[in-house]
Amino acid sequence: MNQKRPYLGIVDASRAIMHIADKHLFKGEIYNILSGNYTVGQIINYIRECINEVHVDFVENKIMNQLSYEVSDAKFRLTGYAPKDDIQLDIRKTIMLLN
């Protein structure tokens, strides 16, 4: 529940592409682009804010990947980019589309 995963919202992804083009960032550099790092528990809680009953089952099977992935986007932010997507709002919008 405490493993972190990076998240990139669709609007931030589009804005990042435009930022790359506008700033001519085509020098072979590698950038991490993300809206934020979130734990599995945080995501479940955000979903619970939208759906009254969320049930999580824990299984006895070995987890395929025990690693947590917290990504730094500091290098990309130094180019003048700042993410704006809100994962809570994005989850809410997605759930509304699915209902």
Parse the chain into domains and list their residue ranges: 4-98
Q: What is the pLDDT of residues 48-96, one digit of tens each?
A: 999 888 888 877 777 677 778 899 999 999 999 999 999 999 999 999 9
Question: Can you give the pLDDT at residue 2?
Answer: 87
String of DSSP letters for 50-77: HSS-------SSPPS---------HHHH
Mean pLDDT of the chain: 91
Rounded Cα–Cα distance for residues 38 and 43 (Å): 7
Residue 41's φ and ψ, nearest 5 degrees, are -60, -40
Q: pTM for the complete prediction?
A: 0.81
In 3D space, the residue among 64, 44, 66, 46 whose CA is nearest the CA of residue 56 turns out to be: 44
